[in-house]
Amino acid sequence: MLIDNKSIAIVGGGPGGLTLARLLQLKGANVKVYERDLDKNARVQGSPLDLHDNSGLAAIRKADLLEEFKQNYLPGADKKMIMNENAEIFFSDHETKSEDHFGYEYFRPEIDRGTLRKILLESLQPETIVWNSHFISMEKENDGWLLHFKNRASVYADIIIASDGANSKIRPYITDNKAFYSGITMFEGNIQKAKENAPSVNDLLKGGKIMAFGNRKNLLMGQKGNGDIGFYASFPAEENWATSNRLDYSDKNQVINWFKTTYPEWNIIWLELFENAETPFIPRPIYCIPLDQNWEAHSNITMIGDAAHVMPPFAGEGANMAMLDALELSECLTSNQYKTLQEAISVYETNMRKRASIAAKESLENGELMHSENSLQEMLSFFNGH
């Protein structure tokens, strides 16, 4: 095996990085994951995500974790409603959606991000995760790399895999290609114990998802397994909006006033989200890879997930693509059909770029529809067509 007697460092412990670590360990690889979080409980995980049969679920099956996934997914959380700004329902599949099953091509079971992370973490060998590892830089040493961290000693590894997200510090060692701003910014909030703290919206959700459209703006929200609600306000904005708007994201009153000003036509029921969310709120400018990005493969460094192909979240492909990256890269690195590591990495990256470009294009197009003048009608046509 090409990676026999090689030390592998995965920088970043998201779904892609943890899936890759699990898949490589099943093949006997020597893997460490360097994660900047202080520990596994360091931050609130975002809204639930849905795994797709040919990507996220394919990786779960290969990782021999399907039974754990089945015991922890959220039945019914994939049910959705489409509303306008007045909270009037124009589409709902709560009564009509059939109970899909594992193995059905279009079944997209939902799971809390935190739960998925726990499943993956518990599948790894002890001491695989090196917490509180804030990556700063790296340099070539012998045939590998010396990684430097903000708060711990430097570490040597033969192979480096970047799984450190959209703002990857490792990506520049591989390519000069930079992501571009999509024109959309999302504003993230989370409500704990929503049944008590946001009863009106909680009743509307009915354990599923809501997508509300109006005036080129959206509210997107989903129920978490622990009873929390994760939500996003999504709207066209200048690229530097998050730093130039003078909002104090820890000041709930400021954020409430912002919502009233920015979403003036929207029903008062939506105010419940902002009035009862935890602080701070999190602004997220949405970026996308160049659809034609390319680079020459290296012999001992590559990347997966958002580090390789950040894209808008409007096609639900982010975590799924990252986990499929992990699956395909693990197979290339452990295959006997390639003569060198560089060849194995090149095959993985070529395939990854092709499918990432297709998914990114779809995500951009969906984002345009969701923030268009006729977004409600466009999305109703989209879901009725499905």
3-class secondary-structure state, position 34: strand
> 329: which 2 tokens?
């890269």
Rounded Cα distance, 304 and 45, in Å: 20
To which residue do tokens 């892609």 refer? 16
Residue with token string 């730093």: 243
- How many residues are listed for the chain in this entry? 386
Residue 12's contacts (CB-CB under 8 Å, 6 or more residues apart) are 33, 34, 35, 36, 162, 163, 164, 165, 168, 305, 307
Q: Is 113 annotated as a binding residue?
A: yes
Measured between alpha carbons, how far is 370 from 199 in angstroms, rounded to an integer? 27
H/E element, 372: none
Helix (H, G, I), strand (E, B) or coil at 224: coil
| Nearest Cα residue to 186 out of 224, 258, 242, 257 | 242
Structure tokens at 263: 């979403």
How close are the terminal C-alpha atoms of the chain, in Å?
Answer: 44
Scanning the structure block, which residue is given the tokens 């949405």?
Answer: 286
Q: Whole-angstrom Cα distance, residue 139 to residue 328?
A: 27
Is 43 labelled a binding residue? yes
Sequence ranges of the binding site:
43, 50, 113, 306
Sequence ranges of the binding site for NADPH:
43
Sequence ranges of the binding site for FAD:
50, 113, 306
